[in-house]
């Protein structure tokens, strides 16, 4: 694992140096391309495989969406907004990680479905779950409802602890992910928020987002039932995969710059 982390640090620094001459426009273009991959693979983690048409229609405001696909589009649009929120929070590096940013991420990524019956009182958005869901995608042990508020406060305390600060950022991000998804505070999108938190930590530390690929879905679920170190290894692999895409992009941009100058 230490060798993998050292390789991530070396390649991240090399990529930053390779991208620096091409300016902010190239970085923004790469981020937009990466966001599409991020949305695709993150939804696949939840069992929703999106087509290129669905992704493109949701992220490109110039495309008029098919009304029959609006629910899927809404989910994609909300997730894109959550990713933008995470990128903005990472760039500012303030405020410190806390309940406020976690709840804001959850509210941003979650599409609230209005009840069909006027007699049904909708639940307040962002409210912690009140029971243990019987049918869910994740099979690891989760916190009992009455312990959620307490464990969320403990998680925020951990963010500022010596233990967290002394971890390599990739491990710190994976541990935070493991802790939050172990609490599973919301009945909807706890997994997405956990991965967004993980990438918020990575982005704040100057790393690229770690995108866990769709083909790792079952492996990912299994590792959530194991130690955070097991998850950290998978996260590191996801970050290396992102770096491979980033390196290819930097090379292509560099070649284009050479052609334009000749």
Q: What is the largest CA-CA distance in the chain?
A: 70
In sequence order, which residues have a C-beta less than 8 Å from that of residue 22 and are 6 or more positions away?
A: 250, 253, 254, 257
**Is pLDDT of 113 > 80?**
no
In DSSP notation, 39-69 reads HHHHHHHTT-PPPHHHHHHHH-TTSPPPGGG
Q: Which residues of 102-130 are buried (b: 16+ CB within 10 A; e: fewer)?
A: bbbbbbbbbeeeeeeeeeeeeeeeeebbe
d(CA 224, CA 178): 7
Quick one: CATH architecture of 2-261?
Orthogonal Bundle (1.10)
Please say whether the beta carbons of 50 and 79 come within 8 A. Answer: no
Q: What is the pLDDT of residues 55-103, one digit of tens each?
A: 776 666 655 555 555 567 788 888 999 999 999 999 987 778 999 999 9
Closest CA to 34 of 64, 7, 61, 55: 55
Question: What residues does each domain of the chain span?
Answer: 2-261
Question: Tokens for 207?
Answer: 């790393």
Q: What is the pLDDT of residues 163-189, one digit of tens each?
A: 999 999 999 999 999 999 999 999 889
Q: What is the pLDDT of residues 189-236, one digit of tens each?
A: 999 999 999 999 999 999 999 999 999 999 999 999 999 999 999 999
Radius of gyration in angstroms for the set of CA atoms belonging to the chain, rounded to a whole number: 19
């Amino acid at each position: 694992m230490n060798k993998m982390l050292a390789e991530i640090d070396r390649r991240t620094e090399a990529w930053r140096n390779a991208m620096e001459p091409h300016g902010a426009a190239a970085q923004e273009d790469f981020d937009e391309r990466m966001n599409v991959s991020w949305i695709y693979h993150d939804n696949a983690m939840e069992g929703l495989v999106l087509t290129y048409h669905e992704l493109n229609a949701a992220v490109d405001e110039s495309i008029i969406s098919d009304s029959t696909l609006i629910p899927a589009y809404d989910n994609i649009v909300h997730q894109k907004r959550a990713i933008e929120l995470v990128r903005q929070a990472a760039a500012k590096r303030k405020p410190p990680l806390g309940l406020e940013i976690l709840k804001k991420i959850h509210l941003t990524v979650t599409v609230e479905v209005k009840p069909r019956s006027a007699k049904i009182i909708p639940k307040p958005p962002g409210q912690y779950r009140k029971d243990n869901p019987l049918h869910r995608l994740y099979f690891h042990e989760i916190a009992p409802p009455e312990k959620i508020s307490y464990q969320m406060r403990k998680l925020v305390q951990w963010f500022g602890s010596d233990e967290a600060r002394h971890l390599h950022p990739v491990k710190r991000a994976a541990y935070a992910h493991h802790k939050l998804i172990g609490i599973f505070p919301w009945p909807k999108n706890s997994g997405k928020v956990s991965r967004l938190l993980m990438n918020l930590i990575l982005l704040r530390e100057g790393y690229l987002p770690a995108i866990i690929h769709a083909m790792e879905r079952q492996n990912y679920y299994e590792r959530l039932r194991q130690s955070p170190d097991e998850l950290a290894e998978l996260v590191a692999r996801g970050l290396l995969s992102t770096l491979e895409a980033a390196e290819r992009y930097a090379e292509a941009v560099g070649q284009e710059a050479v052609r334009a100058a000749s």
